[in-house]
Amino acid sequence: VDGYGAVKLALSLGVTELDSVDGVGQVDRITAALWSSIRKARKIEGHAVIAFDEALREESMRLLRVEGEVRQALDEHRVIAFLQPIVRGDTAVTAGFEALVRIRLSDGRMLSPGEFIPVVETSELIAPLTATVMQQGLALLSRAIDQGLLAEAAFVAVNIAPQHLLSGTVPGLIE
């Protein structure tokens, strides 16, 4: 392409089996199946054709379940920030903390970050989750400083997903 150099094209195709369409509900299910296939195909470099099968259906259902659990945990204030100390190697003094997020399920179990972080990073839930972690982390830090447990120079580091940074909403969280 003029002025842009070489352009690499790739084909991602999702495929699902169709016997007949018996109404809007089935059309919605077929559309969801096709999008699941396409999302998986896009993750493969180059050309890919992915057929929607039982394994992909189960994975899609798992992702929807996890997203629903995170959404419910946000609504019910079951998202918990923990502070992990960052210790200076030369003085062994705690310089600050990294905020780590955990989600308590309605049955009391904890949802592993390895399960929910990849799901949240590809959904609209990344912004409210990040905001919650920042608010809780800063509140914990502020209480520790107020109680004289930490120096006022202490800090909290919060991981922010690239797509959240690009959204332009992060500065509003910091104010």
Q: What string of pLDDT tens digits covers the 175 residues of the chain?
A: 566 666 665 555 556 665 555 555 555 666 666 666 666 666 666 666 767 677 777 877 888 888 999 999 999 999 999 999 999 899 988 888 999 999 999 999 999 899 999 888 888 898 899 989 999 999 998 998 899 888 778 889 998 888 777 777 777 776 6
Partners of residue 49 on adjacent β-strands = 13
User: How much is the pTM?
Assistant: 0.70
- Contact call for residues 14 and 52 (beta carbons, < 8 A): yes
- Contact call for residues 136 and 103 (beta carbons, < 8 A): no
pLDDT at res. 172: 75
pLDDT at res. 109: 93
Spatial CA neighbour of 101 closest among 93, 92, 111, 109: 111
Place of tokens 């998986």: 40
The strand ranges marked E within 16-172 are: 48-51, 79-87, 94-104, 110-111, 156-157
